[in-house]
Chains A and B, each alone.
Chain A
Amino acid sequence: MRLVLLTLILWFSAVAAALGATSLPVDTGRVEASLLSSHHRVVPGQTFQIALKTELDEKWHTYWRNPGDSGEPVQISWTLPETLSAGEIVWPLPAPIPTGPIINYGFEGAPLFPVAFTVADDAPIGSVIEVQADVYYLVCYDVCIPEDGTLRLVLQVAEMAELNDGNAAEIVAAIDAAPHEMDVRAAMQAQGEALSLQFADLPDGDFSDAYFFPYDDTVLVHSDPQTVTVGSDGVRIDTTASFGWGDGFSQLQQGVLAFDLNGDRTGRIVTVNPGGALLAIGAVGDGSDTAIRSAFPLLGAILGAFIGGLILNLMPCVFPVISLKALSLAKSAHAERAVARREAWAYTAGIFATFVLLVGLLLSVKATGAALGWGFQLQNPVVVGLLALLLFAVGLNLIGAFEISGGAYQGTGATLAGKGGLTGSFFTGTLAVLVATPCTAPLMAGAIGYALAQPAMVSIIVFLALAAGFAAPFVVLAYAPGLLMRLPKPGPWMVRLREVLAFPMFAAALWLVWVVGNQAGVDGIAVVLIAMLAFALAVWLLQRRGVWRIAGAAAIVLALALPFTSRTTPAVASVDLATDAWSPERVAELRAEGRAVFVDFTADWCVTCKVNERLVLKTDAVQQAFLDTDTAFLVADWTNKNDEIARELEAYGRAGVPLYLYYAAGDNSVRAEVLPQILRTDLVIETLKGTR
């Protein structure tokens, strides 16, 4: 019996050798492991490949060199004769494998781990090389099991190398598919908990789902999402820094950048300079509603900005201010044309100066790393309060509560804007820009998002195009003689119109007070209302004489000082029962539950957002569709500054709200579907029901 066994074993060994350099497989439990050699006969001095092949039971996984949040890498320890030396494992491309909130980097299926071997020059011809591999891996599904085994392979040193075709093909395919080193420019920087990685000079491919697997396990928090921003010249990944940054990284770091190429997942080994200067990744596009930009990014943005500027004139928040300008133009229309032209230019200058100032401010703040977007000036209750006061004052002036005489009370924007002449025109421009920002016309959203992701010069050019569009109607009016003459002649109607225009002003002030209320609570509203009262009192006092006027001046000071006492209060849920506050984690949670998710990026000062909410999202039909499809409604409220929201907006190529995202149920793609900025009821319902 023993003899039979022995014969069998010998026979099996012989067959194994004859089959060509494939070890007998070892079943370690959840994994069947074997060694494959590219050659069964090797020559002295030759380099060839041996791969560990692991066939995993379905749903089980093993781990990459950095296993992620838990786990342990696949390990091979070689026992070799002196005539053979082993290289490093060529690691296959890992995948992020989630288990609850934990993310691991590993493999499923049948990953191959090729290793290069070199035969010594003095290996005697005809000798036999015995290769032994002690393999160890942790294999996990719902539980983790460490498995190990010993694999053996016998090769012959010969005068002619002989390939094992099947093994060689399999190994070559594995090496081809594995990430290779690639010389890209890469840098990363951690600021507090925020980690930003930038990659430029990238190969062809789709990087919208890019993912970075660091070799070192202390670079980033594996369980946190990696937010990708694709630019024309590179890619940025934003995620969370891990504790390795506590002491900083003194050495270059390596890792694998995974992306899609022709529909297949692939990766490159990249070397990243920690703390290196961040790279410009160029124009940001999200590939959805950016047709103009992808063709001629800069020209498209300039054109979009110009048209956006034109449309901005019709926005409800700007209209009252614009109407002021229209009034003054009507006044001078029939006087000297030169005056009308000078005023139009002064108005334009005011618009340009204010835009440049705002953009400059925004860019310099952004340069310090703060996440800000367009409309940032309205995220501060002090500014909103002052604007409300200003609009209230302009309203009072329009309705005739006080007149500006000879610049006695100059110093406030209101009086300046209300004032005739060049200074007045200039400050009307300023005021128009300030109140226009929350109404950022839909066309401008893309352009502004593009502009803010650009080098400073390009940002400024795009914003100047916006300013030009905004100012253009008045310049055109001033230079087209026919048009100007067609305006009705000045007369008593102008006083009426002026008085009527006071009401949209008051309405705009009311809206801003409401915004303050959402930012700073009831106390914030009270402060602004008291400031308005003080201002109204001041207006009355200043028309008296003597000591009253001093009291009036004091009241003005009080009115202006009050809004500065507003403090942002933490957001109180302004959403009803059916909605949740947005966070990337909440989205992940809900999607993990298999639910569809809709995210409404909004702000109280964003008129487009409010209109969409009132006319579409909060309607019964749409709400019913949310209930019917069990779609979660998440609200990302950007009324106050919020870096996380700003980053998400940026990830979708936007610098401001609104942004509407839809993640279909059971769809695993990382990026959501982007809905248009002007919502329609049927479009939302069809999106939710998947019939679009």
Chain B
Amino acid sequence: MMKTLALATAACLAFSTPAFAKIATGSTVSDMSVVDSNGVTHALSDFAGKRVVLEWTNEGCPYVKKHYETDNMQDLQRSAAASDTVWLSVISSAPGKQGYKDGNAANKWADKHNVASTAIILDESGEMGQTFAARTTPHMYIIDADQTLVYQGAIDDNSSSNPETIDGATNYVRQALAELDAGETVSVAETQPYGCSVKYAS
């Protein structure tokens, strides 16, 4: 009986939270379990104690291409890995929409582009994306070791899709990770993300 009641309450609360809720910078991220391209299930809480970078991606998006074809994103992934940071590349494209990939396709894409993220998360339901209110590809988040969100927004300060603009742009994620490594607080903790819209089921 209590269980039913608790379930009913949970269902009720679930309905009452906005569908596209955003997590406030500085607050603790709620735990969720996600499946990666190899079929492995991860809980966000599994990574407690480590820094986690979330990157929303969509292979076909020109803004994503800008960062992958110049090796800019992979370079950032490698430097994050070097400082023991978990990197999750998240694909929230719904089946049939641009960027959607099953596990195989995602792994092929990763091989082809030397993607250096810890795992590629397949979020075809869009649940993870909507929990974080991920709006664009790329849309970047940094979760600190204590599972609080310390950065969300754009990858850098040049919102063009032109790859030539990477040189000279301030990379917010690189900057935030360096600040965290130095034991400082993140100076730019929230920016407006830019890019293509995340291709959620509509």
Contacts and interface: CB of A to CB of B under 8 A. Distances in A.
Nearest to A586: B15
Contacts of A572: 5, 8-9, 12
Given A138-B161, A243-B190, A100 B15 contact: no
A243 B61 CA distance: 26
B87 interface: no
Interface string A114-131: 000000000000000000
B20 A144 contact: no
A573 B22 CA distance: 25
Contacts of A138: 62, 161, 196
B161 A223 contact: no
Contacts of B198: 70, 100, 102
B12 A585 contact: no
Contact of A583 (B11, B18, B63, B196): B18
* Interface-centre pick from B16, B25, B136 (highest chain A CB count, 10 A): B16
B200 A70 contact: no
A589 B15 CA distance: 11
B113 interface: no
Interface in B85-109: 97-98
- What class of interface size applies to chain B in its complex with A? 35 or more
A142 interface: yes
A224 B22 CA distance: 11
Given A146-B161, A243-B190, A586-B15, A100 B8 contact: no
A570 B194 contact: no
B19 A140 contact: no
B19 A585 contact: yes
Contact of A72 (B17, B126, B133, B161): B161
A246 B160 contact: no
A573 B198 CA distance: 33
A3 interface: no
B9 A573 contact: yes
A440 B63 CA distance: 57
A144 B194 contact: no
A592 B135 contact: no
A329 B159 CA distance: 78
B197 A70 contact: yes
Nearest to B61: A144
B190 A70 contact: no
A100 B9 contact: no
A55 interface: no
Contact of B9 (A218, A570, A586): A570
Interface string A35-72: 00000000000000000000000000000000001111
Interface string B135-171: 1100000000000000000000001111000000000
Contacts of B11: 573
B62 A144 contact: yes
A143 B16 contact: no
Interface string B26-61: 000000000000000000000000000000000011
A59 to B, nearest CB: 13
A346 to B, nearest CB: 46
Contacts of A260: none
A223 B20 contact: yes
A571 interface: yes
B16 A101 contact: no
A581 B196 contact: no
Contacts of B161: 72, 138, 146
A573 B197 contact: no
Interface string A85-111: 000000000000001111010000000
Given A143-B98, A217-B192, A221-B22, A71 B197 contact: yes
Interface in A118-158: 138, 140, 142-146
B62 A218 contact: no
Contact of B15 (A99, A104, A580): A580
A142 B196 CA distance: 10
A100 B62 contact: no
Instruction: Select the residue from A70, A572, A584 with max chain B CB neighbours within 10 A.
Output: A70
Interface string A564-587: 000000111100000011011110
Interface in B158-202: 159-162, 190, 192-202
Nearest to A574: B12
Contact of B200 (A72, A101, A144, A586): A101
A100 B19 contact: no
Contacts of A583: 15-18
Specify which of B19, B126, B135 lies most central, judged by the most chain A CB atoms within 10 Å of its CB.
Answer: B135
Contacts of B130: 101
Contacts of B98: 142-143
Contact of B192 (A99, A218, A573): A218
Nearest to A99: B197
Contact of A102 (B15, B60, B135, B190): B135
Contacts of A588: 19
B43 to A, nearest CB: 24
B13 interface: yes
B20 A70 contact: no
A573 B160 contact: no
Which of A102, A586, A592 has the largest number of chain B CB atoms within 10 A? A102
Contacts of B12: 570-573, 581
A70 B25 contact: no
Given A99-B197, A102-B200, A585 B18 contact: yes
A100 B136 CA distance: 12
A581 B9 CA distance: 11
Interface string A195-238: 00000000000000000000001100101100000000000000
Contacts of B201: 100
Contacts of B20: 101, 223-224, 585
Interface in A521-539: none
12 contacts: A71-B197, A99-B199, A100-B197, A100-B202, A102-B198, A140-B197, A142-B97, A142-B199, A217-B192, A573-B12, A581-B12, A585-B20
Given A69-B197, A573-B9, 18 more contacts: A70-B136, A71-B194, A99-B200, A100-B197, A102-B200, A144-B61, A144-B197, A146-B161, A223-B20, A223-B133, A570-B12, A572-B5, A572-B9, A573-B12, A580-B15, A581-B12, A584-B18, A585-B20
**Which 5 A/B pairs are nearest by Cβ-Cβ distance?**
A100-B200, A144-B196, A70-B197, A70-B136, A101-B20
